[in-house]
Amino acid sequence: MRDLKTVIMVVLILSISSFLFSQTVTLDIIKDIEMDTIVDEKEDSAEITDIDIDVDIDKDELVRIGEDLIIAPEDTIPGDAVAITSNLFVHGFVEGDAVCISGNLYITGIVCGDAVCIVGNADIESTAVIKGDLICIGGTLSRDEGSSVEGEIVNLSLPFIRPVLHHAFKYIRPGDGPTFKPRFSPFGRRIVGFFMYIVKIIALLVFIFLILLFFKGGVEKVSNAIENHFWKSALAGFIGVLLILPLTLLLIVLIIGIPLVPLFLIAVVAAMMFGFACITYTIGKIAAEKKGWKDKSPYILALIGLVVIEIVTFLGNLIILPGGGFAVFGGIIKVIGFVISYVAWIIGFGGVILTRFGTRKFGE
């Protein structure tokens, strides 16, 4: 099960991050724009390289990449059923979770764990029984009367952003995305910048929800460490950030450590991402306790925490749009928002260090 979660997270990180960091938008004015030709060529090449993989990670797990996964009425899956960039049909019995990423989820049978649909539509028929949570992010949720869901129901349709997220899963390797050079006025540049900020926040939210889905226990351990040992978490995070560069240089100096540099940096990024998910959950949990909210879904709590952290930066990006004097004031607000966000990342990173990536409770 742990291997399955690791593979899913790696695929998601490569997919979404390749969209966020490899899509080049050049704002220079050029005479000839051949975007249509470039996009068509890239789409043709992407279609040629589409993959169709059946992954056998564990005898109890069934993972399908690029091909529809159909659980017939007479079939029983002893573990999880996962479909990536394809559709998942559950007509039989799944003892674990039913997870569909960048595809549509159809359930008429029984799922003992959670039913999760990321960047796709979820269709729950009247005969469906879901004993865990029902989660649909980046698509529409259709649930017939008579269907049974014993856990939480979380539905974030995000209709305006779904095509962008779906596009992110199309390019697995950096550099595969189309490069285009449209004409932009100064105001257009600010609009594009604001839009890209929103896209990154949505992608970040998807990452946070996935971490909560797959690593609930670890998130709770890190969250408790941050809440009960706040200053120790902040100090650990600050020291950890200071040590990243010296440790990287040390590995480079030690010839035998050079192959470990990429693994070390990946571990740092993973720890930062995991810690940020934990700090958003912690802030949401504290806010819920202050307001007297009970039995709130962890996904709602994380969403509240993300809003608290990013609200200042969002306002800065919004104020800067008209330009002129607003741009100066908005820039100052953005700097303040950056500091708030950076501190949150540091504290979350420190909580991950104290709990050894959420594997143990700190202070016990």
Q: Could you write out the three-class secondary structure of 130-196?
A: ECCCEEEECCCEEECCCCEECCCEEEECCCCCHHHHHHHCCCCCCCCCCCECCCCCHHHHHHHHHHH
Q: What is the pLDDT of residues 205-225, one digit of tens each?
A: 888 888 888 888 889 999 999
The confidence score (pLDDT) of residue 21 equals: 41
Sorted by where each begins, the domain ranges of the chain are 2-156, 186-354
For range 337-355, the mean pLDDT: 92
- Residue 66 falls in which region: left (phi positive, over 0), alpha (psi -120 to 50) or beta: left
Please report which confidence band the pLDDT of residue 32 belongs to, taking 50, 70 and 90 as the band edges: very low
Whether residue 119 has pLDDT greater than 50: yes
Please report which confidence band the pLDDT of residue 149 belongs to, taking 50, 70 and 90 as the band edges: very high
- Give the number of other Cβ atoms within 10 Å of residue 101's Cβ: 26
Please report which confidence band the pLDDT of residue 70 belongs to, taking 50, 70 and 90 as the band edges: very high
Lowest mean pLDDT among 149-153, 185-189, 195-199, 255-259: 255-259
Please report which confidence band the pLDDT of residue 255 belongs to, taking 50, 70 and 90 as the band edges: low
Average pLDDT, the chain: 77
For range 305-309, the mean pLDDT: 92
Q: What is the pLDDT of residues 74-102, one digit of tens each?
A: 999 988 898 888 899 999 999 988 988 88
Cα 20 from chain centroid? 12
The answer to whether residues 96 and 90 touch, using CB atoms and an 8 Å cutoff, is no
- Within the chain, how many helices (H) and strands (E) appear? 9, 17
With a CB cutoff of 8 Å and minimum separation 6, the contacts of 126 are 144, 145, 146, 147
Which range among 7-11, 177-181, 355-359 has the greatest average pLDDT?
A: 355-359
The confidence score (pLDDT) of residue 350 equals: 92
Six-digit token string for 292: 């007297």
- With a pLDDT cut of 70, the percent of the chain lying above it is 74
**Cα–Cα distance measured from residue 330 to residue 136, given in angstroms and rounded to the nearest whole number:** 34
**Cα–Cα distance measured from residue 10 to residue 14, given in angstroms and rounded to the nearest whole number:** 6
The confidence score (pLDDT) of residue 138 equals: 74
